[in-house]
Chains A and B, each alone.
Chain A
Amino acid sequence: MIRVRDVLISAALLLLGRRRPSIPVEEDPGDPRAELVVAGLLGLTTCAAIGFIVAYALDPSTQLLGLSLGLAFIFLAAALVVTAHRLVVNEELEDDYPPEEHTAEQEEVVQLVEEPGERLTRRRLLKLGVLGAGGTLGLALATPVLSLGHFLDTKAYLVTPWRRGRRLVDENGRPWRASDIEERTFYTAFPEGGDNEEIAAPVVLVRLKPGDLRLPATLRGYDAGGIVAYSKICTHAGCAISLYRTPLFDRADPTPALVCPCHYSTFDPASGGTVTFGPAGRALPMLPIEVDARGHLRAKGNFDGPVGPSWWGVRIWRPER
């Protein structure tokens, strides 16, 4: 069988060779010039490789290192391209595709697999047993995965560091005074003595004209004389809201808006952080604040809803105090 194929292949080769005169069949004179080119390219590879080592020792700038190492490989590739095109015999061959299938062997496999099973009398019982054992054992093995975190406890999403009376401070712990907060810009505030990295910690502060505020009834009194505080974490995908569009921004709606730069969810600080554009599905959680006797901003309580992106219970449960 193999011999027959070999004969066929050599016959095909002969035919091919006759049709394509470019293929050297006999008295191959070689290609000494191409060999020279390959040797030259290999020499360049060597130079570039040495260049890399020298560069590493003397001036390890990323550019020089990348250039020398990259060129070394490029020269090597070029040497091989010349080899492939000029130095080796490039002839197209023909062959059979492998057989589509082996029906006899398939049948044998089926018989071999099924044979021992034919002696069984209580097949369904055994099947049930295997299923039960396998399933429960799989479950047992998967159980320790629960140790990775608190699967059933979603309280972590409701914890915030905000308490009544807690002062609002800046990144370095300096308390914000109401008089620090100007219109047309925004400020980031944290709970005094808290962990700034916590997702419920950062709030964004902006001052609006008290007459412009249109807070819904449930949020009445959350502002401190026109200063409003919202969670800085976007309710869409958890990024920090770090754009404040004020009337100075002329290309869009001229009302002030808090914008998240991840997906451009746009919130209206005047109406309780409602969504005016973009994908966010919930208003920003608002933090009730007041000005104390020394002019510092303090929290009057907790956010009116959970901080961060939406999940199953986000509209049901309130932040923990």
Chain B
Amino acid sequence: MIRKTVRWLDQRSGTAPFLRKSLRYLFPDHWSFLLGEIALYAFVVLVATGIYLTLFFVDSSSQTVYRGPYAPLHGQRMSEAYESVVNISTTVKAGLLIRQTHHWAADVFAGAIILHLFRVFFTGAYRKPRELTYIIGITILALTLFEAYIGYSMVDDLLSGMGLAIGWSVGMAIPFVGANLMSVLFEGAFPGGQSLWPRMYIVHVFILPVLIGTLLVAHLTLVALRHHTQFKGKRETERRIVGMPAWPAQVPRSVALAFATVGVLFLLGGLVQINPIWLWGPYHTYLSTNGAQPDWYLGWLIGALRMVPSFDITIDGYTLVPNPFWGGIAFPTLVIGFVYLWPWLERRINGDDAFHNVLDRPRDAPLRTALGVGAATTVGVTLLAGSADRADDLFGLSYNGQLWFYRVAFFVLPVLFGVIAYRLCNALVAGERVEADRKRAEEEARATR
């Protein structure tokens, strides 16, 4: 049976040599190499559940009056988009399961990518010859944040409408042309023309998923062409790779991870409520709610928007830089720009142009680790600042007081943590050197005795 299939395939495609090589492709064994795989499987779940949701979703902002079975919303005016998502959540059998699984999968997808990025950054896996793989990965992350934002904006519940208003305002804050650009995208002023919803819809269900999927394929192809990186070991060198062969060792592991990811996502989708939009109610421009938080991966942006003190930069009466520009555009551009450019910055700093297949431990590259910790702290501070309203509510900490703390911490903590990380790296390496010296001295002593 297998012989027949292989023969049939080889005769028609000539891929037997490729298959043979693929079965013996080596996977270095380390748990952190699985983070990217989790992201991949979450993406598959996103596509599958997303397709199911498109079969029920209505991409229209036309207003209608709710007459469905969910009593608390009876008689309320809402968009057809919101009504259709309420229906998916209440009347479509298994609809809520698929919708919640889709939302959870988005959270896990973003989380797995970010953890994967941490692993790649702090071990220097992005170095030559893998810079291209790296920037494609960062692009996937950036597109994912945008894709997820549009995804929950389309629902048109109270929370998502507030998010859309913020997104529109951030766009308006682009110097000179913001208002013009937003007029084009939204087909007029907020809350936008009739075409806005179809536009968001096609971007969310087609343009961005196809882009992300294509980049994923490119990313994985490049990984395979250059092979995995590996940690230093007795037999692992820059020229020799050591690992489990795809067949029979790695395939069952990877497939097991795929099923485990899918299983956990369905468990979350079924058992852990997420974004209960029927409780938020429909969005209207004149409504908002207190304590509103975006999904976690956008929390840093709301924090950044909140931290900026009150000012617009004006020039002769014209508003050159409206306030949301700093938190909504400048800050994320700086962070993502740093991540994009880091491989080249590092090369500029240390002049290292060699091929690297063996990974660094974070302590082996103190400057990189320190800068990475600093950048992560910057984002972490804004993420925390984004939750200051919750801390006010839960612990009675003054919101305004907290914000002043975060405004200072934004500049102080990254430097502080960076310096600590730098020293820690050096101390760890020095400790190892002492340990090695001691061992050698002991051995010498034993030999001379």
Residues on A facing B (Cβ under 8 Å): 56, 60, 62-67, 69-74, 76-78, 80-81, 83-84, 88-98, 100, 145-146, 148-154, 156-157, 159, 171, 188, 190, 196-199, 201-202, 232-233, 236-243, 251-253, 260-265, 275, 277-282, 308-316
Contact = CB atoms under 8 A, between A and B. Distances in A.
A131 B310 CA distance: 46
Given A73-B260, A91-B245, A93-B243, 20 more contacts: A56-B94, A65-B94, A65-B270, A69-B97, A77-B257, A88-B249, A94-B241, A96-B239, A98-B227, A151-B180, A188-B286, A236-B305, A242-B290, A265-B310, A277-B310, A279-B323, A281-B311, A309-B168, A310-B319, A312-B178
B162 to A, nearest CB: 5
A236 B324 contact: yes
Nearest to B284: A197
Given A73-B259, A196-B284, A312 B176 contact: yes
A232 B286 CA distance: 7
Contact of B190 (A264, A308, A314): A308
Nearest to A197: B285
Interface string B285-297: 1111111100000
Interface of B: 24, 26, 29, 63, 93-94, 96-97, 100-101, 129, 162, 165-166, 168-170, 172-173, 175-181, 183-191, 193, 195, 199, 225-227, 235, 238-245, 248-249, 252-253, 255-260, 262-271, 284-292, 302, 305-312, 314, 317-320, 322-324, 327, 355, 357, 389, 392, 396, 398-400, 403
A148 B285 contact: no
Contacts of B252: 80-81, 83-84, 88
Contact of A237 (B29, B170, B290): B170
Contacts of B235: 94
A199 B177 CA distance: 20
Contacts of B307: 279
B183 A66 contact: no
Contacts of A198: 285
Contacts of A146: 184
Given A241-B288, A252-B399, A279 B324 contact: yes
Given A67-B267, A197-B191, A264-B399, A239 B166 contact: yes
Given A66-B267, A237-B169, A239-B166, A96 B290 contact: no
B173 A309 contact: yes
Given A84-B252, A263-B305, A92 B187 contact: no
A76 B259 contact: yes
Given A199-B189, A279-B310, A311-B179, A262 B323 contact: no
A315 B314 contact: yes
Contacts of A66: 97, 100-101, 266-271
Contact of A149 (B185, B302, B306, B310): B185
Nearest to A310: B322
B184 to A, nearest CB: 4
B270 A96 contact: no
Nearest to B303: A263
Contacts of A311: 172-173, 178-179, 319, 322
The 8 A-B pairs with the shortest beta carbon distances in the complex, nearest first, are A66-B270, A73-B263, A281-B312, A70-B267, A310-B322, A80-B256, A202-B286, A309-B169
A74 B260 contact: yes
A61 B251 CA distance: 35
A241 to B, nearest CB: 7
A316 to B, nearest CB: 5
Contacts of A95: 24, 26, 240-241
Nearest to B265: A70
B252 to A, nearest CB: 4
A314 B319 contact: yes
A60 B242 CA distance: 49
A305 B185 CA distance: 24
A261 B291 contact: yes
A128 to B, nearest CB: 29
Contacts of B26: 93-95
Nearest to A189: B286
A252 B181 CA distance: 39
A59 B312 CA distance: 57
